[in-house]
Every structure is written in C-alpha cells, then in structure tokens.
Amino acid sequence: MASFLEFKNISKGYPGVQALSDISFAVEKGAVHGLMGENGAGKSTLIRILSGDQSADSGEIWIDGSLQGYTSARDAFNAGVIVIHQELQLVAELTVAENLWLGRFPARAGMIDFKKLVFEVSEKLQAIGIEVDPNIKVANLSIGQRQMVEIAKAVMLDARIIALDEPTSSLSSRESEILFSLIDRLKAQGKIILYISHRLDEVFRLCDSLTVLRDGKLAAHHSSLEGVTRDRVITEMVGREISNIWGWRSRQIGQTRLKVDQLSGRILPQPISFDVKSGEILGFFGLIGAGRSEMTRLLYGADNRRSGTVSVDGVIVPPNDPRHSIEAGIVLCPEDRKFDGIIQGRSIEENIAVSSRRHFSPFGILRLSQEAKLADTFIQKLRIRTPSRKQDIINLSGGNQQKVILGRWLSEQGVKVLVIDEPTRGIDVGAKAEIYNILYELAESGIAIIVISSELPEVMGISDRIAVMCNGRIAAQYEREMFDDRKILAAALPDKTVAVA
C-alpha cells in the first residue's frame, strides 16, 4: 500500500538555528505514528509546517499522492490535516454541540437550527464512542472530556490526518485509557494519527511506527516497532547511552533537619507529620489530588495553615509567610513553574537575584556587579544554556527555567531544606539527568530534600525514602531497600472513594 502522508526533504531555519534539516519519512494509512524527540528536537516545528502555520524553507509534503502547496492553515485544513494542541481551542461558554458547529452553524431561514445542531452531534459522538452530553457547556467538562470534544470536532470536519501534541500531559490515567481506545477506533476508520509524546510507555502501547528527531535531524525511523526496545529509542533521542538516567548514589545521612508536626490546612484537614534528615532525599508519591502539593504549600507558608508546626534543626519556623520559611532555610521550587516559579518579562539575572539580593543590597540599594557575578556563577555551575544573563527567562526551555529557579535558591547562602515539586515535568531526558545530579550534590552538602512527583519511576529512582500520600494523608513510607513499585502504587490507590474536602 502506498504511503498516505509523506514528508520529503523538509528543512526550516530560524535566525540562528536550523530547526529542521532534510527530514523525510512516510506514514501509511490507518496507522498511529509516533513522533519523539527531546525538547527543541524539531517536533513542534514539523507539526507547525504540517498544519500550515509556518512554511518550510524547502521540501515537500505529499498527502494521498498529491503534492501539497500549503500557504496557510486553511490549506492544511482543506487537505484534511488537523492538529490538536496542548492548549485546547474550545469556547468554554458554549455547549459541546455549539463548539462542534462553530463557524458553520446549521441555519434555517437565518435562525440557528438547534435541533439539527444537537442531533447530528450526538450521532457523531456516538459513532466514535464519546460519551459526552452535547448540551453541556464546555466549561463544565474535565480536561479529558474537552480533549475528546476537540477530537470529535476533527472527525466532524473530516480530518484525514490528526496530530495530537502531548495529549495525555494533563489527563488522569483513566482518561488516558479512554483516549487510547478512541485512537484505536479512529485508526480502524483509516485515519492517520500523528502522536507526539515524551512518554515511551504510551508510544509503545499505541504506535505502529515511529520517527525520532534529534537536533532537527532525522535520528531514526521505525516502520514497525517490532524488536525496538525502549533503551534503543532513548539512545536515539539523546544520541548517547543513558543506561541509568537516575544515577542514584548512596551518601551520608545525618541528623533530623526538618520536622513537620501535625500540619493541617483548609484543603488538608487531617494533620500530617513527618521528618527529613540532613542529606536525605524524601520522595512524595501519590495520585493527582492526593494532597502532595497542598502539603508542600502549607509547609512553605504559601497557604495559611490551621494547625501544626514546622521546625528546622529544632527551631520552629513562624507560619503562613514564605519569607519566614526562606529566612529559616526552607525553599520551594513550585509545581507550576509558569504561574508560581518564573518571573516573566524579567532577565535570568533578576530571576536569580530576586530573593538573595536582600543580603547584599545595603539600604535597599542594588549592587549590580554582584548580581551579575551571581548570575554568571549559577549559569556556569548549573549549566544553564543561554546566550546571556540578560535573556528574558520566558525564552528558556523548561529545564533551563527549572535550573534558574534552583539558582535563585542556591544563591541564598543558608538553604537547609529544598522542596522541589515535579522537578522534571516538561523537561527533556538530557536535562532531567542534570537536574537529578544537582539534587544529589545538594543532598551531599547536607541539605534535606523533598521531591514531589507523580512519576513513580522518578520517585523510586532518586529517593532515599518514599512517603506515599493518599486522600490527604501519608498512607505508607518505604526505605530505599524496600522499594517495590506495586506496593507503592497500591498504597497510593484509595481503597474507597473518600472525597478530599
């Protein structure tokens, strides 16, 4: 069977970067094709070219045996290509049915034909097996359901090629399963699905064929995944063997550094107690909604607590204000870097110095040379990849932004407890290993570290001890020798549905 979608010698450059060079591969009809690569490997650029968002400098796209001369997103749409981005493009205040018809409402005598509107939508939704009420407002749907609606829209528009960009990044595992069965059905209908993901498990579960990009070049193309191992794909992505990306090593563990006693708050009504020793990495694992991040925010003073104390080296930290925690040596790298971590529009230099500058600014007057030196030190030490310390932080990749936030806290001299929430979310494999190494070095210097993660392999890979949270309390704790993924996961699953107030 001839290839349905074919990329031929696609190249695209931006000022200073060759984003894609000479990419060629083909995808069969009725196939789910994986597209993998580290951040910056060129996946997004390729998808933008496919969707007509941008045009290639050279090269051709062939669909169903005809050369596509795209100049706009409209052309791509007419050729049957629809891209579903991570940020969904639905109107929250309209119903599902209205969203699916948006821009071409069925009309009778100038009035919207609501009967037809709803009827055809419910038929379509049923045909592809999506259980969503067409009369419900999109605002009332979960993220997973919205994604379904988005896919239904693509099907309604007769898309022949549907590209999904990191579709599961904000889905629960149950929602992901529903998505996967939908993808299977679409495949059976002869659609091409381009599946872009960082998650190897999903790619191996779903895809028939796979393309790996690295630094804008084609690193590998597998027309079948038979006999292809995960390690091989990782190697192709990073271009080097990462046999053990965790790189955990044993280290000296000292006295108790952080003691959390009977901590509770509005969202976490049941008191929580635990402690962390100097040099120890304590991993917190739990499902989404188990209360890990809420616990972190209470501990750090970002949210007001109801009860409990937090002490560092035996000294009680005053509650409910991050400034007290920082002063006592507790620092937080938050879960949501974009909203709680980086200061957009300001330089790397300012993002690093924002907290620690109070130590070296006599009478509140800045010493710019000191700030510049500090920034350069951490850019070098943490290997932050940037042309200059003056660069706006928004222009950095996720991994480098995380490093800047680490730099912000390391420039505080007396850090004793580092809390890092989802340390590597949205960060590529190479940068992950670097961040783990930074954490090990900090632990070796005697800092107590709390890592919160929803990726079990990560928690198991880097922690000395794991606390499992479930329904707002600590359900179990395991020392490293006792790590067992099945036991940990079992402890994280609620045995009965208890609402976390």
Partner 1 sequence: MNTSLKKILLGEQGLVVIFVLAFAIVAVFVPNFLTERNMLGLLQSVVTIGIVACTMMLCLASRDFDLSVGSTVAFSGMIAVMASNATGSILLGLIAALICGSLVGLINGVVIARFRINALITTLATMQIVRGFALISSDGRAVGINDPNFYQLALSKFLGVPTPIWVMLVLFIAFGFILNRTVFGKNILAMGGNPEASRLAGVNVVSMRIWIFALQGLVCAIAGILLASRITSGQPNAATGLELSVISACVLGGVSLAGGRAAMTGVIVGVLIMGIAENVMNLLNIQAFYQYVVRGLILLLAVLLDNLRSGAAGRKG
Of residues 82 and 330, the one with the C-beta less far from partner 1: 330
- Residue 365, classified by CB atoms within 10 Å of its CB into exposed (0-12), middle (13-18) or buried (19+), is exposed
Closest to 256 measured CA to CA, from 500, 446, 41, 410: 446
Closest to 171 (Cα-Cα) out of 253, 287, 64? 287
Q: Extract the tokens encoding 51.
A: 């969707």
Task: Give the nearer residue to partner 1 in terms of CB position, either 354 or 456.
Answer: 354
Provide the binding-site residues for partner 1, judged by CB under 8 A. 300, 302, 322-323, 326, 332, 334, 339-346, 350, 353-355, 357-358, 361, 364-366, 368, 392, 394-395, 408
* DSSP label at residue 340: I
Give the nearest distance from C-beta 466 to partner 1 in angstroms: 25
The residues that bridge with 271 in the sheet, in sequence order, are: none
Closest distance to partner 1 from the beta carbon of 323 (Å): 5
Q: Would you say 115 or 323 has its CB closer to partner 1?
A: 323
Cα torsion angle, 375, 376, 382, 386, sign? positive
Instruction: Compare residues 71 and 395 and give the one whose CB is closer to partner 1.
Output: 395
CB of 347 to partner 1, least distance (A): 10
Task: Identify the DSSP state of 382.
Answer: T
Minimum CB separation from partner 1 for residue 418, in Å? 14
Q: Are 11 and 68 in contact (CB under 8 A)?
A: no
Would you say 89 or 395 has its CB closer to partner 1?
A: 395
Q: Which CB atom, from 223 or from 361, has the smaller least distance to partner 1?
A: 361
Please state the closest distance from residue 43 (CB atom) to partner 1, in A.
Answer: 16
Of 306 and 323, CB closest to partner 1: 323
Give me 459's structure tokens: 């928690």
Smallest gap from residue 183 Cβ to partner 1 (A): 31
Structure tokens at 350: 């300012």
Contact assessment for residue 336 and residue 358, using Cβ atoms and an 8 Å cutoff: no
Report, in Å, the least distance between residue 85 CB and partner 1.
16
Q: What angle do CA 282, 283, 284 make, to 5 degrees?
A: 120
Residues with Cβ within 8 Å of 65's Cβ and at least 6 positions away in sequence, in order, are 2
Residue closer to partner 1, measured from CB, 395 or 477: 395
Q: How far is the CB of 258 from partner 1 (least distance, A)?
A: 18
Q: Pick the closer one to partner 1 by CB: 270 or 361.
A: 361
> Are the CB atoms for 319 and 325 separated by under 8 Å?
no
Task: Give the C-alpha separation, 277 to 313, whole Å.
Answer: 10
Provide the minimum distance between the beta carbon of 45 and partner 1 in the complex, in angstroms, as a whole number: 13
User: Smaller CB distance to partner 1: residue 215 or 392?
Assistant: 392
Residues 6+ apart with CB under 8 A from 322: 300, 301, 302, 332
Contact 405, 333 (CB under 8 A): yes
Phi-psi region of 319 (alpha: psi -120 to 50; beta: other; left: phi over 0): beta
Q: How far apart are CA 110 and CA 107, in angstroms?
A: 6
Least distance to partner 1, CB of residue 412, Å: 9
Cβ burial of 158 (10 Å; 0-12, 13-18, 19+) is exposed
